[in-house]
């Protein structure tokens, strides 16, 4: 899994033209790797202000605003890849356009491919 982090400050720092180019670059990346079959899923998340955290204590759920972690950056997007090894995942991650303005993380997902039974 490849994870992109960001925050409102970063996204708002882009001019309208820069934002459009960034989206176009991301769309091109998605088409390229969907075409090779290596990109299984790609999703961007809603703003952190729309996130909710659920905690159950004593059988009673409590829902609070915002993401669980108090951090300057939050999970912005994620990709699920199917590749033969870590080297290939890192190669693909290096092509993500937003890696040039921030960082992306690559995490192994030690489960079977989609379609497996939970």
pLDDT, one tens digit per residue, over 71-97 is 677 788 899 999 999 999 999 999 998
The DSSP 8-state label assigned to residue 26 in this structure reads H
Query: Cβ distance 42 to 79 under 8 Å?
Result: yes
Burial class (CB in 10 A: 0-12, 13-18, 19+), 22: middle
Q: Using pLDDT thresholds of 50, 70 and 90, give the confidence band for residue 118.
A: very low
pTM (2 decimals)?
A: 0.73
Question: What gap in Å lies between CA 72 and CA 20, rounded to an integer?
Answer: 24
Question: What gap in Å lies between CA 81 and CA 88, rounded to an integer?
Answer: 10
Question: What gap in Å lies between CA 76 and CA 74, rounded to an integer?
Answer: 6
């Amino acid at each position: 899994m490849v994870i992109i982090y960001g925050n409102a400050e970063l996204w708002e720092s882009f001019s309208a033209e820069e934002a459009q180019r960034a989206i176009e670059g991301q769309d091109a990346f998605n088409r390229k790797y969907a075409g090779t079959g290596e990109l299984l899923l790609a999703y961007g998340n809603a703003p952190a202000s729309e996130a909710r955290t659920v905690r159950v204590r004593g059988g009673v759920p409590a829902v609070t605003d915002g993401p669980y972690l108090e951090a300057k950056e939050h999970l912005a997007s994620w990709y699920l890849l199917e590749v033969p090894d870590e080297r290939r995942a890192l190669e693909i991650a290096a092509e993500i356009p937003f890696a040039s303005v921030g960082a992306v993380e690559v995490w192994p997902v030690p489960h079977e491919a989609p379609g497996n039974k939970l």
